[in-house]
Structures are given as structure tokens and as C-alpha cells.
Amino acid sequence: MLDFNFFIPTRLFFGPGRLADLATTPHLPAGKKAMIVIGQSGAMLKNGHLAQVQGYLGERGVSTVICDSVTPNPESGQVDQASATARDMGVDFICGLGGGSSLDAAKAIAFMAKNPGGFWDYMTAGSGGRKTPQAPGLPLVAIPTTAGTGSEADPWMVVSKSGGREKIGWGTDATFPALSIVDPMLTATLGARQTAYTGMDAFFHAVETFLSNQHQPVSDMLALEAVHLISHFLPEAVADGGLPEPRLILSWASTAAGFCQSLSSCISHHSLEHALSAFYPDLPHGAGLVLLSRAYFDWLCARAPDRFADLTVAMNHDADQLPEEQQSLAFVPLLEDLIEAVGLGGESLAAHGMKGSDIPDLARCALETMPMLFGPTPVEMGYEDIVEIYEKALG
């Protein structure tokens, strides 16, 4: 029986060169001062993306304040400091420019610029304060420069607790971007490994939302589209980052998978990874998902194989000739082939710092800080199951 909600209030511009719409669109949030949130790596400055955004906003008479303190796994203290600056300087709207960390931090800063206290006061799991927001926050413009996060098409923001080992995803109807501009040309400066990490992140957004108990017709359609496109075009983009067609297609696949996160939900694969990158902050999110994926989906497919057949066919249409049971079993081998094809087959969790002695605490962290993703998982999963998956992934 069909039973679902549909709410995506973001206005989204998509296409090569669409960043220039910042200078002309009537849909830019009102105001004369914006804070641009970027990562601390300096990539937005080196690649010229920051100067472009400042120039287009300047044509509108909008002055800019730069927040360049965002780390790859943004922390609550960074959010609190930047939101205080936004309030003190009378910022009218926030502009997130960069990958998932920059966009997530921008959402959190926009939210906290209009709400009292600290960001962790509002977290709904773990040690969060579970406070009810008093205001919707400042308007947000989201401009992704990677094809992986999907944050331009959903309300979610993932932030780690400063000084702690918690990384929690959270959002409300009010934290959708007001305006998103997806210009695939901005992703052309990504290196091969970053292209692979972010592309696999989008792939798992699509896979998980398709398997989720909260899937619905539109998310199913977009998820299978994203799985198909990423499977076929990510290896090409990794091999030759200068090709425009794969960049264009992957940007759409990432945005489509972002819509899926609004219409459906990721499952506990993401819960397990959030615990990993909370314990090991230098672990890229996409790498963590990849390194957990074979153990996780092997475990899940053995217990809930039904929808894996459709994912297998989306990855390889020739699999349509196989019996359905074999189609389901073929998903993990095809996943392994994709991981190899994008150059990530030689990575390991141990090389990223994971220790077997941390596994009990990791399992508890996953359950306590991201419990909301265990409900949509199609099989009930407990502590011992999570330990088993971590041990297999590490081994």
C-alpha cells in the first residue's frame, strides 16, 4: 500500500555555467550582506570558485563575509563561532560553497544564527540537548563543488561534537536550502580520489534510500537512475577528470540521490559510518562507506534480498537475464567491481586508523547517536550484528 509524504521546497538551478545565475536571479534571498562558508583547505580560493561567487554577489550589491574554518568533518564549536559572527555582523543570508562538509556547516550556521544557545543543544540523539528550535534560521544558498553530498536537495546537516566522539545528522523542514545552484563545471577541479569518494557517497545514498522501509515511487525512480548513472560514469570520471559529460551526469546523479534523502531515508549503513568518522575524524565519509559496504550489504542481502535484484539490474542490465535470486546475490560482487574500477579496492579501515579494540564502543556509538536510521533498515539490527559487520569490515 502506498503511503508517503512529499515536501521539497528548494528552488534548484542545474546546468553547466549556471553559477552565473547568482548575478541575475530574482530568487536570491533578500539582503545586502552574505556569509560564504567554505572549507579550510583553501581549494575554493585556489580554484577561483570563491572569487566567482563574490563577484556575482557583488554585482547585486551584496557584500560578503568569509567563514573558512570548516574541517572535513565539521564540528559544533566551528558552527557556534561562525553563527555568532553572522549575528554580530548582521548577515542576511548564508551561502555554502564546497563539498558536503561546507554545505552541512552552512546549514547549521544559518540555523544557529537565529536560535539561542549552542548547536549541540538541538541534537535529537546521543548527548544532544533535544531543544525545540525557536526560529527557522537564515536563508541558505547551496552551491556544491562535488558530486556526492546531495545536501543541495535535502534538509540534513551532519556535524560532529567538538571534543567528543559523536557525529549526528539532523535537520528540519526549515533547513532546506532556499536556493541551490548545481553547476557541474565546478566539479572539474576534483582529483581522482576525491571524485571516487564523493561519487560513492552518492551511490550509497541511492542504494540505501531504495532499500529503506520509507521508500516511495519517486525516490525509487530517482534512486535507480542514480545507481545506474554512477555505476557507468564514475569510473570514467575517475580515469579522466577533464571529461565534461561524466561530470554533468554525476552531478545530476548526486542531486537525484539528495532528493531521495528528502523523500525516503538512508539506513544504518550511514549510522555505522558516522560512528567511524566520529572516532577517526581524518577518515573521509565516502571512504568509510566504501570500506563498510561489502560487509554491511553482504549481511543485509542475506536477510532481506527482495529489492537487491532491482539494484543489480540498474548496475548491469545484462543481469536481467538471471533468475531473480541470482540477481540479488550479484549485487555485492558488482559493488566490489565498482569499488575496484574507481581505484578504491586497495584501501582498508586499518590504514585509516581503525582498531579492533574500538569496535564495542563504535557499535554503541552507532546505536546511540544515529538511532533514527535503524528504523528504516529493512531488517532489525542489534548490537551483536553491528559488531559482526565492523569485525568483518576491519578483517
- Residues of the domain holding 210: 192-394
Supply φ then ψ for residue 76, to 5 degrees.
Answer: -60, -35
Residue 327: give its domain's CATH number. Answer: 1.20.1090.10
Q: How much is the mean pLDDT over the chain?
A: 96
Q: Are residues 162 and 246 in the same domain?
A: no
Cell numbers linked to 297: 550489504
Q: Are residues 217 and 344 in the same domain?
A: yes
pLDDT band at 134 (very low <50, low <70, confident <90, very high): very high
Degrees to nearest 5, angle at CA 267 with 265 and 270: 110
* Domain end point (choices 187, 211, 241): 187
Residue 4 lies in a domain: no
What is the total count of domains within the chain? 2
* Domain end point (choices 158, 187, 216): 187
Residue 263 lies in a domain: yes
Residue 1 lies in a domain: no
What's the pLDDT at 21? 98
Query: 13 or 242: which carries more pLDDT confidence?
Result: 13
Q: Are residues 145 and 208 in the same domain?
A: no
Q: Are residues 206 and 113 in the same domain?
A: no
Q: Is a pLDDT exceeding 80 seen at residue 333? A: yes
Report the chain's C-alpha Rg in angstroms: 20
With 0-12 / 13-18 / 19 or more C-beta atoms within 10 angstroms meaning exposed / middle / buried, residue 172 is: middle
Residue 175 lies in a domain: yes
pLDDT digits (tens, 9 = 90+) for 24-75: 999 999 999 999 999 999 999 999 999 999 999 999 999 999 999 999 999 9
| Residue 353: partners with Cβ closer than 8 Å, 6 or more residues away | 280, 282, 283
Q: Are residues 252 and 176 in the same domain?
A: no
Supply φ then ψ for residue 65, to 5 degrees.
Answer: -115, 135
Q: Are residues 325 and 374 in the same domain?
A: yes
Q: Are residues 63 and 178 in the same domain?
A: yes
What's the pLDDT at 272? 98
Residues above pLDDT 70, as percent of the chain: 100
* Domain end point (choices 124, 153, 187): 187
Task: Assign 103 to helix, strand or coil.
Answer: helix
Strand partners, 168: 159
User: Which pairing describes strands 11-14 and 93-98: parallel, antiparallel, or unpaired?
Assistant: unpaired
Distance between CA atoms of 177 and 9, rounded to whole angstroms? 8
Q: Are residues 258 and 350 in the same domain?
A: yes
pLDDT digits (tens, 9 = 90+) for 286-332: 999 999 999 999 999 999 999 999 999 999 988 888 887 899 999 99
Residue 97: give its domain's CATH number. Answer: 3.40.50.1970
For residues 72-81, average pLDDT: 96
Residue 3 lies in a domain: no
Q: Are residues 159 and 233 in the same domain?
A: no
pLDDT digits (tens, 9 = 90+) for 100-120: 999 999 999 999 999 999 999
pLDDT digits (tens, 9 = 90+) for 184-196: 999 999 999 999 9
Q: Are residues 137 and 235 in the same domain?
A: no
Residue 2 lies in a domain: no
What's the pLDDT at 1? 62
pLDDT band at 85 (very low <50, low <70, confident <90, very high): very high
Q: Are residues 130 and 222 in the same domain?
A: no
Q: Is a pLDDT exceeding 90 seen at residue 269? A: yes
Residue 299 lies in a domain: yes
Q: Is a pLDDT exceeding 70 seen at residue 172? A: yes
**Contact by Cβ (8 Å): 160, 74:** yes
Residue 28 lies in a domain: yes
Count of CB atoms situated within 10 Å of the CB of 338: 25
Q: Please give the DSSP secondary-structure letter assigned to residue 75.
A: B
Q: Are residues 249 and 316 in the same domain?
A: yes
What's the pLDDT at 254? 98
Distance between CA atoms of 270 and 395, rounded to whole angstroms? 20
